[in-house]
Amino acid sequence: MTRPSDEAMLDAPFRSAAPAGRAGFGALLKSEWTKFRTVRGWLVALLVAGLVTFAVGALSATGSKRECAGPDGQPCAVHIPPVGPNGQSVTDRFTFVHQDLPGDGTVTARVSSLTGDGAAPEPWAKAGLIVKADLTEGSRYAAVMLTGGHGVRWQYDFTADAAGTTGDAAAPSTAPRWLRLTRSGDTIAGYDSADGVSWNAVGTATIPFPGTVQIGMFVTSPDHTVTVQRFGGTETNSEASQAIAAFDNVAVNGGAGDWADTQVGGDDGGPGPTPNAGFTEANGTFTITGSGDIAPAVAGPEGNTVERSLAGVFAGLIVVMVLGSVFITSEYRRGLIRTTLAARPQRGQLLAAKALVIGVVTFVVGVITSALTFWIVGAIRRANGVNVMPVSWQTDLRVIAGTAALLAVSSVFALAVGTLLRRAVGAVTITVVLVVLPYVLAVASVLPSGAAQWLLRVTPAAGFAIQQSTPVYQQVDATYLPSSGYFPLSPLGGFAVLCGWTALALALAAVSLRRRDAAA
């Protein structure tokens, strides 16, 4: 491009040498990304966020050793909890009176009584009919049963649970109750009946058992748990319980061999012995005593969740939120916001570009950090004898990606609050108080669980629920507390609360950015 000489210029209009072109949202993104990557301190902060997440997790992992001494000071046998068909940790301990079932068949029986050991049965004490792949813990099964307080249930493969057709939650059906279980190809079906004449289907399951399976009657009864909550902590006491059930009118179609009884899961499968477990038969009436449970495992003193490895995320989260705030407040502090807004006057777009840049950057760093931490710290915990309850690989991935999303959305939340307040100190304080503090108070059991649960529903800290790997199971009575990894909201529900807060903050930030002068 050549320009006319100065003398000839006087009345000639100026022509810009800048290349023509457009600069859309992509150019704005590129600009904000350039801004971010050219401040070394911010890149270092990302590294620090990753390191503290790992370090806090690793420290707490090396600190939590599970030690167990027998009566004579010898090390006691470590019970390795079984893994169910979906890859998750399960409890599989019961008294099983069984025979072979080579092909299709049916078992029918009437549960004539179900009691506890000199007391009312546990609400989730179970007595019923089961078909199971084999006698090893964690193998696939389907069962129809009468429970101590929840009527007739249809359950299979540990996690599935459905109510029977008679009775309801207010007046659950009780003994005596007729039950029937059929195997027809891969289809297992359960029925119940009040009189043994008219039968109702309770549920079906498709389980491709390989060849001969075990079919028969089972009895089990979960630990009796008492939870005391007070300020400063929650105390849970549990002791083994027993159920005794009588079965009559027992009829097997297609079975082979005699009745045998097996303590599936062994006698030492949990806290407390299982005295008198076994069965007696007299005049066609089987009296079976059992203890344990056939159910998904619940995190607590005996088993820790996989996401416990990511216990340091709250520390990384603080760093990431400082970064999110400073990404905008540093511009106000230096007056640079005026340069930025002179270059891109569309203020809503600017906020969107900044949010996208900080969100994507923290997400990518979050995925790397949480994946490495998850596996390395998890390995340290297992090496220390901690029972890390396995879950399916899909759940592993969701915990890792969810943790990264938690970091990303929190940094955007901090950016929005920083835009509103224009000052880093205020923005960081507010976001830490809203996101991190409720989580720490709840998880460290500082607050009574009612208050903790309430905080984890309404504050952005609800987003930590995305890390929860094991759901709350209605068929397992336990104290589901934040301290053992249970949040009051579902993983996506809790995350949606955090996203809601962030969307609100972004909307307010956009309005205030548009309305106010671009003053420092």
Contact residues for other proteins, defined by CB under 8 A: 3-4, 6, 9-19, 21-24, 27-28, 30-32, 34-35, 38-41, 330-331, 334-336, 338-346, 517-519
**Shortest separation between residue 326's beta carbon and other proteins, angstroms:** 10
Amino acid (one-letter) located at 408: A
Write out the H or E segment, with its range, that includes residue 44: helix 40-63
Task: Output 22 or 230, the one with its CB closest to other proteins.
Answer: 22
Task: Output 21 or 211, the one with its CB closest to other proteins.
Answer: 21
**Shortest separation between residue 362's beta carbon and other proteins, angstroms:** 19
- The number of beta carbons lying within 10 Å of the beta carbon of residue 345 is 10
Tokens of 167: 């009775």
| Cβ-contact 243, 114 below 8 angstroms | yes
**Shortest separation between residue 504's beta carbon and other proteins, angstroms:** 25
Task: Output 42 or 486, the one with its CB closest to other proteins.
Answer: 42
- Going by C-alpha positions, the residue among 59, 60, 58, 79 that lies closest to residue 68 is 79
Q: How far is CA 65 from the centre of its chain?
A: 23
Task: Output 443 or 513, the one with its CB closest to other proteins.
Answer: 513
Task: Output 224 or 338, the one with its CB closest to other proteins.
Answer: 338
Task: Output 34 or 394, the one with its CB closest to other proteins.
Answer: 34
| Cβ-contact 127, 248 below 8 angstroms | no
Task: Output 8 or 282, the one with its CB closest to other proteins.
Answer: 8
**Shortest separation between residue 328's beta carbon and other proteins, angstroms:** 12
**Shortest separation between residue 353's beta carbon and other proteins, angstroms:** 9
**Shortest separation between residue 355's beta carbon and other proteins, angstroms:** 16
Q: How far is CA 17 from the centre of its chain?
A: 59
14: burial class by Cβ within 10 Å (0-12, 13-18, 19+)?
exposed
Residues 6+ apart with CB under 8 A from 397: none
**Shortest separation between residue 359's beta carbon and other proteins, angstroms:** 18
Which residue intervals of 312-346 are DSSP H helices?
A: 313-334, 336-343
Amino acid (one-letter) located at 331: E
